[in-house]
Amino acid sequence: MHGLILAGGEGSRLAAEGVAEPKAAVRVAGQSQILRLLATCDLLGCETVTCMVRDVFPDVVADVEEARGAWGDRLRIVTCHTPSSLHTLAEGLREVPRGTVFCSMVDTVMPERDWARVWMESGRHLDAGADAVLVVTPFVDDETPLWVERGPDGSAVRVGGPAVTPPCVTGGVYAFSQAARDAALRAQRQGGTRMRFFLADLVRGGARVATVEVARIVDLDHKRDIEAADALLAAEAT
C-alpha cells in the first residue's frame, strides 16, 4: 500500500486556543506530528508516502524535506491550498501511484501497536475485496463526531446521521482500493466538499466498507488533546 498524509487544514481551533504551531508541527511525545506519521509509514512498510501540506506552512515542508534521506524518491511533498477535506484527499490521490492507499489525517494519534494492527487488518480487508476500510473507535471526544453503524460482520452500513449504541465513530484513518479512489475523485469533480459526505455516499452506494476498531484515538483539535496524546503514548511505553 501507498501512504498518504493529509495536512491541508489550517488548525484554526488550536490557533484560537493559543497554539502557535499548525497541526502538522505540533509536538507529541517530543516529535512533530507529521514526522511521527512519516516514521509510522516507514515502520508499517508503505511503498511510497505522499504528504499534502498547506502552502502557508513552509516550515512544515522544510521539516519533511529533512526526513527525505530514508525515503528518497519514495517520498513526495505536495503543497496545497484546498477549500475542504475532500479536495485535499482528491488532490492527494491524484499524486499517489495507482493501487491501494493507507491514508491518515495529520492530527491522528495512536499507539504504535494499534497502527501496526490497523495496517495489517486494512490490508487483509482490501485483499478480501473490500472497497474501503474505516478505522473506528468507541472513544468519542469531538463536537461533531462522524458516527458509524455496523452490520453483524463489522462492515459499515451507515456513516453519518444520529448517534449509535454502542458508540462508534471514525478515527481519521482510512484505506482505499483503486475503485474507492476513483469514486473520491468523481465525488470531488461533481461538487463534493467534505470527506464525511463522500464516505456516507460510498456506503449508501453499495460499496463494501470494512471497519477496524481501536480502543482510543486522539485527534489534535484542541490544546487539551496534546496532553491526552502525550499521556496515551506514555502509557504504551510503560
- Give the CATH number of the domain where residue 95 resides: 3.90.550.10
pLDDT of residue 129: 98
Spatial distance between the Cα atoms of 8 and 26, rounded to a whole number of angstroms: 14
CB 231 within 8 A of CB 30: no
pLDDT (tens digit, 9 = 90+) per residue, 24-77?
999 999 999 999 999 999 999 999 999 999 999 999 999 899 888 888 999 999
Q: What is the pTM of this model?
A: 0.96
Amino acid sitting at position 221: D
Section 133-140 average pLDDT: 97
Element (H, E) at 59: helix 58-66
Q: Which three cell numbers stand for residue 187?
A: 465525488
pLDDT of residue 105: 97
The range of the structural domain enclosing residue 168 comes to: 2-237
pLDDT at 11 over 80: no
pLDDT (tens digit, 9 = 90+) per residue, 212-235?
999 999 999 999 999 999 999 999
- For residue 18, what pLDDT band results from cuts at 50, 70 and 90? confident
CB 103 within 8 A of CB 52: no
Instruction: Give how many domains the chain has, as a whole number.
Output: 1
pLDDT of residue 12: 81
CB 81 within 8 A of CB 58: no
pLDDT (tens digit, 9 = 90+) per residue, 147-206?
999 999 999 999 999 999 999 999 999 999 999 999 999 999 999 999 999 999 999 999
- Looking at per-residue pLDDT, the higher value among 105 and 236 belongs to 105
pLDDT at 10 over 80: no
Contacts for 233 with CB less than 8 Å, ≥ 6 apart: 28, 29, 109, 111
C-alpha to C-alpha distances, 182 to 58, 65, 157, nearest whole angstrom: 30, 29, 21
| Burial state string for 107-122 with b = 16 or more CB within 10 A and e = fewer than 16 | bbbbbeebbebbbebb
